[in-house]
Structure 1
C-alpha cells in the first residue's frame, strides 16, 4: 500500500518522546489560521512523486534508528487520519518491528460509527498527541472552519480506551490567549484519566513566508507571536482548570 507523504524528518525532538522519525502526511480538512504547513492541505491524486510505501518509510527509519534514542515514529501532517488505512498499516508493521508509534492529530475525523477502524488503529498506537485548537466550538469554527465536536468526542474515546495522550494547545494572542477559554480547556482535559502531558505552544509567525510563496493570504497578518511569558501564564491557567475538575470529580465520588 502507498500513501501521499509530504516529507519526512530524521531527528525530530518535539514530536513525542525521545528522538523521532517524523512522517508528514499529505491532506487535512482543517484550515487553521496559524497553520505553518499549508502546503500539506490538499492531496493531488495525479501527483505520484509523493507516493511512499510502508516498506520504503520503514527502510528509511531503519537507516537512522541507531540514532533515535528512546524514540520511534511519529505520524503528523497535515492530518494523518485522512489516510487512515495507510496509517494503520504503517503502524501495524512498525509495531511488529518493536517500534514506538505516536500519532499527532487533531482528531477531526473521528466518528462513533467508525469505532471499529479507530479500534484497529489504536491497538497499534502507543501515544496520541492531540491538538485541541480551541475549547469553544464557535471560536473553534472561526479559527479552523471546523467544529470541535468530533475532536472532543475523540478525546473521550481515547480516555475510554486508555490510550496515553499528550494534549497540545497553541496560544495565539487575541484568539486563544483568554483566561476563560484556557480554564475551560483545563476543566475538560482534567477529566481525562489518560492524560500524560500538556504542551502549551506559543504561536509563531514562521509559517507566514510559506503563505506568500503559495500565493495565499495569511489570516493572522499583524498578530504578534506569543511570548514565552504568555505561554507560561496560559499553562498556569489551564492547570487551574485541571485542578478544579479533579476536585469536582473527587467530591462526586
Structure 2
C-alpha cells in the first residue's frame, strides 16, 4: 500500500534494497577463478594419489571417508575406525587453522596459505609411515588440503569448494534452476569448471601414481609452490590490489564480521 503520510500527499516511492556487498576473495575474478580451478585440480590430484597409496583412504573427500567410517563401525573394524576418524579430524583441523591464518595475515592470505600447502604436500614424503590405524605419512597432505578450503571465497563470503565436488555439483544444479527463475548467483558459473578441474586432477594423479608411486605427491606440491610464487609476486608488486586482496571477513564468517582483507 502506498504511503500518503508526507506533506505533499504524494506516495513515497519505495526504496530498492541495496545489493549485498561483494565478499569474494580475491575480489578480482581474473585471479580468483584461475586460482580456484588450479587448486581444485591440485586437490583432485592429491586425493587420487592418496587413494591409491593409502588403501583407499581419501585425502580431501571427507564424505567418502565418513561413509567408510560408518561401515567400519558397523563391522566392528576399530583399527579402520581410528584410521578414518583421525584423517577426518586432521582435515577439519586444517580448515580451522587455515581460517585463523587467513584472519591473521590479511592481504598475504594467498601467499601464506599456498606456501604452507606446498611445504606440507612435499614434507609429507619425509614423514614416517606410522601404522595402519595412524597413517602419519598421510597427515601432512590431509592438513594441506584442509588449509586449502580457507584460501578463496565467493561473493557471499563462503569458502569455495576446492577439495570436493559435491558442493560444486549441488550449486550447479540449484544454479541452473535459479537461472530459469532469473535469480542466479554470480558464483554459479564457476561450479562446472571446478568439477572439471578436480576430475582432471584426479586423472592426472592416478597416472602419476602408476608411474612414480608416492613421489607423485611432488606434482601437486610443485603446483602449489608455483601458485604461491605468483601470489607473492602480485602481493609485493601490487599491494592491496584486487588481484590478491578483497574487502571481506574471514571465510564463512557472520555477515556482521569485521573486514580483514581490506583493499587499500
TM interval, short-chain normalised: under 0.3
| Structure number with higher helix proportion | 2
How does the TM-score come out when normalised to structure 1? 0.25
Quick check: which has more Rg, 1 or 2?
A: 2
Highest RCO, 1 vs 2 (Cα 8 Å, sep ≥ 6): 2
| Structure number with higher strand proportion | 1
